[in-house]
Amino acid sequence: MKKWSREKLVKRAIEARENAYAPYSSYKVGAALLGKSGRVYTGGNVENAVYPLTICAERAAVARAVSEGEREFVALAVATENAGPPCGSCRQVLREFGEDIVVLIADVEGGYRETTVADLLPDSFSKKDLEEVE
C-alpha cells in the first residue's frame, strides 16, 4: 500500500458529509475509511424518524467496505460541523476490526485531531474475549 495522506482522507470525509441524510437533527456526518488495500470507502449518516434506526456515517463506511470484501483497515476520518467524535456504537464496530486503526476526528474546515480505536474505547470487548470462553 502506498503512503496515505491524513489530509486527503479528511477531505474525503468532508465530501462524504455532503451526502448525509439528516433532516431531523441537521447534524451531518461524513466518514472515509482506508482499507489495507489502499481503497477508501465513504459513508454519510442516514437518519430515520425512528431515531434508533439511524445509521451512523462510520458504520455505513464499514458496512460498505465489508460488503465489498475489505476486512483490514488502516484509518478512518470522520467529519462533522464541530469535530464530534464517533459514538459508542461506532467505536465498538471499529474495534471489531482492530485497536490500532487511526481515527481522525475533523471539522468541516479540515482541522483534525488524531487518536486510535484503542484510545477511544479502552478495555474493550472483542472476539478475543469470546475465544476465552470454555
Residue 1 lies in a domain: no
Is 15 catalytic? The answer is no
- Choose, from 58, 68, 96, 134, the residue flagged as catalytic: 58
pLDDT at position 132 is 64
pLDDT per residue as tens digits for the range 76-122: 999 999 999 999 999 999 999 999 999 999 999 999 999 999 999 99
Residue 25 lies in a domain: yes
* Total count of domains within the chain: 1
pLDDT per residue as tens digits for the range 51-81: 999 999 999 999 999 999 999 999 999 999 9
- Can you give the CATH number for the domain in which 103 is found? 3.40.140.10
Residue 62 lies in a domain: yes
- Whether 127 shows a pLDDT value over 70: the answer reads yes
Q: Range of 84's domain?
A: 6-131
Residue 109 lies in a domain: yes
Average pLDDT over residues 13-36: 98
- Whether 39 shows a pLDDT value over 90: the answer reads yes
Residues 6+ apart with CB under 8 A from 28: 17, 18, 20, 22, 44, 45, 80, 81
Average pLDDT over residues 20-48: 98
